Structure 1
Amino acid sequence: MLDDRDRKLLTLLQRDAEASVTELAERVALSVSACSRRIARLREAGYIARQVAILDRRAMRVPTTVFAMLRTTRHAADWLDSFRRAVADIPEIVEVHRLTGHYDYVLKIVLPDVEHYDKVYKDLVGRVELFDVSASISMETLKDDTALPTGFA
């Protein structure tokens, strides 16, 4: 079970995983060694899955976001395996969610421009059979955060 210091540490680490243990310890009112032990315990317990660098999309020249909503008539395990491999192999597809409701899946796709979507679309439909693909272009990102809420654990 997490306590308030653990939650604060996780919140701080989500904002800046490169913060020094000294800085983190000061912010959560712990000694450096106690803070270091807590961070190690949080890693071992699986609260910290990994540490990554978050790249600037404009600098990486993929500022455009397209959300593709997919419907399929196939729900067998072999189709799902093919679909998982296909989306894993297309680097522009950064998120895939299986849904309830009218669509079966939604894909978040990052691209250099809208025209590049056609390449991704053709690549995907060339790999797996789909019944319907509908895409929407994001006009503006109102919130883009990787931090999870820490109050539920």
Structure 2
Amino acid sequence: MDDLDRRILSILQKDATLPVERVAAMVHSSKSPVWNRIRKLREAGIIDRQVAILDAEKVGRAEVFFVMVKTSSHSRAWLERFAAAIADMGEVQEAHRLAGEIDYLLKVRVTDTRAFDSFYKRLVAEVELFSVTSLLSMETLKETTEIPLTEEDVDTPE
């Protein structure tokens, strides 16, 4: 991946609906080479997928909870059950296995606290957990899907 690939990807992360001609103009190249690079980036799996990012409040899913999970079991079977359980729960937007005191962190998006309570009851019924702590996000200060790829994407102090 060279600088041109990184510049193309930075643009597509902001707006993947831009026509190839526009992306090419923005990176000071022509359409065919940019199209070929995008195709190769898709084939290589660097571009994983293209999606629409929804406004959670406008679709009625404004409440975000972060769920910290500790488990007393670290077996492969337990992890497979846990992973299968959360994979089937649409409320879970992200799930991370952590190093440190907390074993797993879930980002859960729901309509309200009653919906979260329903989610929580389903989760603890599916898999045995040692302890669960839930935190309600009061305000989102930053949320992005972009990965910094160029120096322009990284805000560095001078």
CA distance in 1, matches of 2:150, 2:73: 39
Aligned-pair CA distance for 1:115: 2.4
Q: What secondary structure does 2:109 align onto?
A: strand
Alignment correspondent of 2:29: 30
Task: Give the whole-Å Cα distance in 1 for the aligned partners of 2:91 and 2:53.
Answer: 15
Deviates more, 1:62-71 or 1:31-40: 31-40
Q: Could you list the per-position Cα deviations for residues 35-68 of structure 1 after superposition, in whole angstroms to 9, with x for gaps in the alignment? A: 1111111112221111111111112100010001
1:75 matched to 2:74:
yes
The whole-number CA distance in structure 1 between the counterparts of 2:92 and 2:12 is 26
Is the CA contact (8 Å cut-off) linking 2:70 and 2:129 kept in structure 1? yes
TM-score of the aligned structures, taking structure 2 as reference length:
0.92
Amino acid at match of 1:67: F
Alignment correspondent of 2:91: 92
SS at structure 2 position matched to 1:87: helix
In structure 1, the residue corresponding to 2:108 is in which secondary structure? strand
User: C-alpha separation between the residues in 1 aligned to 2:143 and 2:85?
Assistant: 26
Residue-pair matches, total: 151
3-state SS in 2 of match to 1:25: helix
1:58-69 equivalent positions in 2, closer than 5 A:
58-69=57-68
SS in structure 2 opposite 1:23?
helix
Gapped regions of structure 2 (runs ≥ 5): 152-158
Distance in 2 of aligned mates of 1:45 and 1:15: 20
**Is the 2:97–2:103 contact (alpha carbons within 8 Å) kept by the matching residues of 1?**
yes
Gaps of 5+ in 1: none
1:53 partner SS: coil
Using the aligned pairs only, state the percent identity: 45
> Is structure 2 residue 15 aligned with structure 1 residue 16?
yes
- SS of residue in 1 equivalent to 2:107: strand
Q: Which residue of 1 aligns with 2:118?
A: 119
Offset of residue 71 of structure 1: 0.5
Instruction: Give the whole-Å Cα distance in 2 for the aligned partners of 1:91 and 1:11.
Output: 29
The TM-score with structure 1 as length reference comes to 0.95
